[in-house]
Amino acid sequence: MRRCGTCVAVVLVGVLASYAQTSGHTIERSKQSTQALASGKRTFESSCAPCHGLNGKGAERAPDIATRSEIVKLSDPATLKLLRDGTPAKGMPSFAELGSARLSDLLNYLRVLQGKGQAPASTANGERGKELFAGKGGCSQCHMVQGTGGFLGPDLSEYGESHSADDIRSAIVSADKRPGVRKGLANVTTKDGRQISGLVRNEDNFSVQLQALDGTFHLLEKSSLSELTFDSAPVMPSDYDSRLSEAELNQLVSYLLSIRKAKR
């Protein structure tokens, strides 16, 4: 599996690049944001990484603060309070001495590590990701986003809400490594000779409900089937790693993360 440690860096570069591309009237602001993020990164690397690891995913001395959902979902004020106060009794120092400006830069960078800090939805990356989703990536053949798309795969409208950039990326490139049996299409032949391929939506001892590739549902008595087999390959293609470039993967990730933001 290619869960890469460099993703965080790549995402950050993406963020910086999108800020840099922002149009004229916001250039001052984006310069500031870029500097703020760089300052947050420096603080993280010198003050936090020694215990939490460079990617925030935890190390010997301190837990994961990049992907654990109870930490990721803490509000900004709650996280800032935590950084200011620390929990010295449990080994997390207080960082009040950094001052509120550096703490707020640090918080922004922490959000990037948590996959929440991507540039806003309107940025070039997310836009290109959206095109890839419907175009070259073919994702929308199987995945619904906000009411448009296919139904074979799960609806991804809210996926970015609960998943980090790394999670999303690994879901895209390692479909075949995800846990779960029967990821493949089911192929049935009925005793009267009909053949249907589709996804099992429900199954019990006596019956199986399939959603066929054309979207129609079929409730079949098992006793009426002469054959029920499953493809070993998952429905979701597992070669995106080679079909899409690094940049394209990041654009898709930005897009899926951005949907959530657009909704707010």
The binding site for ligand HEC (CB under 6 A) comprises 47-48, 50-52, 61-63, 65, 71, 79, 82-83, 87, 90-93, 95, 106, 110, 137-139, 141-143, 152-154, 156, 159, 168, 171-172, 178, 180, 183, 234-237, 240, 252
Min dist. Cβ of residue 79 to ligand HEC (A): 6
The Cβ of residue 52 has, within 10 Å, a number of other Cβ atoms equal to 22
Tell me how far the alpha carbon of residue 109 is from its chain's centroid: 17
Min dist. Cβ of residue 261 to ligand HEC (A): 17
Question: How many degrees, rounded to 5, is the angle at CA 137 between CA 136 and CA 141?
Answer: 105
**Distance between CA atoms of residues 214 and 150, nearest Å:** 10
Residue with Cβ nearer ligand HEC (36 or 63)? 63
Residue with Cβ nearer ligand HEC (26 or 87)? 87
Min dist. Cβ of residue 140 to ligand HEC (A): 8
Residue with Cβ nearer ligand HEC (119 or 259)? 259
**Distance between CA atoms of residues 257 and 263, nearest Å:** 11
Phi/psi at 129 (5° precision): -60, -40
Min dist. Cβ of residue 28 to ligand HEC (A): 28
What would the two tokens of residue 52 be? Answer: 């939490």
Residue with Cβ nearer ligand HEC (19 or 159)? 159
Residue with Cβ nearer ligand HEC (22 or 198)? 198
Min dist. Cβ of residue 53 to ligand HEC (A): 10
What would the two tokens of residue 177 be? Answer: 């490594």
Question: How many degrees, rounded to 5, is the angle at CA 6 between CA 112 and CA 174?
Answer: 95
